[in-house]
Structure 1
Amino acid sequence: MFHTASSWFLLLLLLVPALGWLLFRSRTTAIAFSSTENLRKLPTTWKQRLRWLPPAMLLAAIMLMIVALARPQEGRKQTISESEGIAIELLVDRSGSMQAMDFKIEGEHVDRLTAIKNVAGQFVNGGDKLDGRTSDLVGLITFAGQADGVTPPTLDHAFLVGQLNQSEIVTQQSEDGTAIGDAIGLAVEKLTSLENSETRNIKSKVAILLTDGENNAGDVDPIQAAELAATLGVKIYTIGVGTNGQAPVPVVDPFTGRKVVRWMEVKIDEQTLTKVAEVTGGKYFRATDTESLQNIYQEIDKLEKSRLEEKQYVDYREWAIEPVHVAGFALPPLALLALLLLVARELLINTTFRQLG
């Protein structure tokens, strides 16, 4: 490519054919000689064969100078990506009440945790109506009677979703419960610890809490944990999962040993979940089926967008004054080549091809 403001110099190349005709036209000289027959029989010398060389060198030098004036350039584009991602902690309830089978996936009844795994996986990796959180750090905390940090905020989303899919509903009574406050406190700790990291420019810190119950375990009150989160700049979105009142729950019949579905009383503390969200500047959602859960994640996906900016720079190499790279070889700049041709021509016409007046 050529520099736009100088490319018009290429029009001078239209004069090259005329200049070539002037340089290479035959010149006849009249001499007084009785006969030239014997001269024709003389062998042609190498000087005679190469007599075209000096004018060709002059013509080539002129062409190179014209091209150099047009400023040929080689552009090397560089792209620098700058992103401000979001650090997200997923807080997933795996208490015994998550066994309630009031959700459906492809027409089949599934428990609440299975539905969460399905939709949360799409939220992280993308799928269906969700774009995925490609540039965001995402961590996972599960809780029942106590909160467990399963995966710290990471960009390895495949590993995180794998860990999420391996999470199971607690079966031991001693492990059961719903420690919402402890889960929030642990999420705040994990997210604020990223402030000392230099590997990522964190735009905001977000926790998404999913539960189907009320805080009945752990040492931290959910509202106090939310107030701490607000102080440290962590926003919490809370999702109440499942129906309120009665829900179908699979239980083992003590007489037959078989699993049967029974309607059991369940209760979601919507007041506390709403307060937790409001204190931190988040929002409370209610998910009663898989579709509403997908819609909730889709809304959160829109509310919490990462900023990705690309800046492109073009580094130009001026062939007129910088080496020209062709097929892996570096040639001298065009201006220098033209000068070398002119110097070589002058040497030739004043030595080997010197002509007597």
Structure 2
Amino acid sequence: MSFGVPLLLVSLAFVPALLAVYGWQLRRRRSQVVRFSNVAVLRAAGAGTGSWRRHVPIALVLGALALLGLAAARPTVRAQVPTSSSTIILALDVSGSMCATDVAPNRLSAAQAAVRTFVEGQDDETKVGLVVFSGFAQLAVAPTADRDELLAALDAVSTGRGTTIGAAILRSIDAIAELDPNVAPADVVDEPTGDGPAASDPSPTPTPSPSSTGGGAAGGPGGARADVAPEIVVLLTDGANTRGVTPGEAAEQAAARGVRVYPIGFGTANPTQLACTPDQYGGVVPRGRDLGGFGGFGGFGGVGGGSSGGRNFLVVDEVALKQVAQTTGGEYFAATDADGLRQVLADLPKHVTVSEQDVDLSAAAGVLAAVLLLAGMVVSLRRATS
């Protein structure tokens, strides 16, 4: 337990002081008792005066005073409490690798179907936003309770070149900041345009600083935050970051604002062929690519990622995603097929409805003090009228 105003704990000293005064008064009263020669009469006159019940009113008053002093010091405890995830940002990977057919009919179609079921299962009070990312990240639908608008945007997504996981997290933060004044927008980060391993990115990325209005401060990977935003980010990707800000850097910004990110790694470790519908290609079939004959990965690096520097960008970078989850206080999930993805999304509310927060006990202590004072008054009145 910690206290917001620990100096006010000195007020608790009044409790033992008043208890000492009460004891002194009892002793003084005994010393002034009139002596009777008839012991029977004395016993009858003082019947019940030695009972412990006569001390109940003062005990209740002293307990109430102690609770009021405690409440004044603003006590808080760190506890697991339920949170209402009133807003969920779905960040969906639409890079070309989502055309891989290791998940039938392809990763993108399976993801769209699973996300559709997830969205339709939310209650009317939950707002859902959609961020889509490939070579860049954009907010396709601002958080809304309009399911038709959201599902229409989900059905209309098309693939692009590159995978910007870090940028998707930053765009999600911005979407949350539009709704929650306690969450500051993401810091601006320069994002190179070339694909390739994020580690080889020569451009400096500024170290994110905790927001003055944000939910808390990041304590590094797994670090404690002063508060947790009720909004969450669910990030679904099948590959690795190929450009721009790294997922780890973006996660630090999310953690500084109390925003939890729940990454979902989708797809197998052995992707087979690539095939998307004309709509999923955005109406433009990649050159040398037949929609019926899938071919290999070699010429598809520009659309789906390919491999570079020893990293196969068609396979989930679990190390990076687990780090994102640990840094932000979320949890990482893996789904290798369509059924697994639907199950992960179905179980997600069980994991996000509880979070660790600082709970202020001042109000509870004040209410309990009022109850004790009322009880003390009732007991005193009953003794006076009995």
- Shorter-chain TM-score range: 0.5 to 0.7
CA offset at residue 205 of structure 1?
1.1
**Equivalent-residue separation in structure 2 for 1:190 and 1:94 (angstroms):** 19
**Deviations 1:273-329 (Å, cap 9, x if unpaired)?**
1100111111111111111001111221222349xxxxxxxxxxxxxxxxxxxxxxx
**Deviations 1:136-164 (Å, cap 9, x if unpaired)?**
11100000000011011111122111111
Aligned pairs (5 A) from 1:183-202: 183-196=168-181
Q: Secondary structure at the match of 1:150?
A: strand
Residue in structure 2 matched with residue 300 of structure 1 by the alignment? 348
Letter in 2 for 1:207: V
Change (3 A) 1:254 1:167: closer
Structure 1 contact 85–135 (Cα < 8 Å) conserved:
no
The normalised TM-score by structure 1 is 0.53
Letter in 1 for 2:349: D
Query: Structure 1: which 5+ residue stretches go unaligned?
Result: 1-82, 104-108, 127-131, 171-175, 307-357
Change (3 A) 1:133 1:273: farther
**Equivalent-residue separation in structure 2 for 1:117 and 1:206 (angstroms):** 19
> Within the alignment, does 1:155 sit opposite 2:154 as a pair?
no
Which of 211, 222, 230 does residue 204 from structure 1 map onto? 230
CA offset at residue 259 of structure 1?
2.9
Residue in structure 2 matched with residue 333 of structure 1 by the alignment? none
Structure 2 contact 289–295 (Cα < 8 Å) conserved:
no
CA offset at residue 253 of structure 1?
10
**Deviations 1:44-103 (Å, cap 9, x if unpaired)?**
xxxxxxxxxxxxxxxxxxxxxxxxxxxxxxxxxxxxxxx955211000011111000122
Residue in structure 2 matched with residue 181 of structure 1 by the alignment? 166
Change (3 A) 1:238 1:84: closer
Q: Secondary structure at the match of 2:158?
A: coil
Structure 2 contact 137–164 (Cα < 8 Å) conserved:
yes
Structure 2 contact 102–271 (Cα < 8 Å) conserved:
no
Structure 2 contact 229–259 (Cα < 8 Å) conserved:
no
Change (3 A) 1:258 1:271: closer
Structure 1 contact 119–294 (Cα < 8 Å) conserved:
yes
**Equivalent-residue separation in structure 1 for 2:155 and 2:353 (angstroms):** 25
Question: How many pairs does the alignment contain?
Answer: 204
Q: Secondary structure at the match of 1:245?
A: coil
Greater fraction of residues in strand:
1
Which of 269, 288, 311 does residue 336 from structure 2 map onto? 288
Structure 2 contact 102–268 (Cα < 8 Å) conserved:
yes
**Deviations 1:236-267 (Å, cap 9, x if unpaired)?**
01011111133222388988956313354632
Query: Structure 2: which 5+ residue stretches go unaligned?
Result: 1-82, 183-227, 277-284, 298-311, 355-386
**Equivalent-residue separation in structure 1 for 2:170 and 2:289 (angstroms):** 43
Q: Secondary structure at the match of 2:149?
A: helix
**Equivalent-residue separation in structure 2 for 1:155 and 1:257 (angstroms):** 39
Letter in 1 for 2:317: D
Change (3 A) 1:258 1:102: closer
Structure 1 contact 212–268 (Cα < 8 Å) conserved:
yes
Percent identical residues: 34
**Equivalent-residue separation in structure 2 for 1:159 and 1:135 (angstroms):** 16
Letter in 2 for 1:164: L
Q: Secondary structure at the match of 2:274?
A: strand
**Equivalent-residue separation in structure 1 for 2:119 and 2:349 (angstroms):** 10
Letter in 2 for 1:118: A
The normalised TM-score by structure 2 is 0.49
Residue in structure 1 matched with residue 264 of structure 2 by the alignment? 239
Change (3 A) 1:255 1:146: closer
Structure 1 contact 123–133 (Cα < 8 Å) conserved:
no
Residue in structure 1 matched with residue 203 of structure 2 by the alignment? none
Structure 1 contact 253–259 (Cα < 8 Å) conserved:
no
**Equivalent-residue separation in structure 2 for 1:256 and 1:122 (angstroms):** 31
Q: Secondary structure at the match of 1:102?
A: coil
CA offset at residue 203 of structure 1?
6.7
Letter in 2 for 1:93: D
Computed over aligned residues only, the root mean square deviation of the Cα atoms, in angstroms, reads 2.6
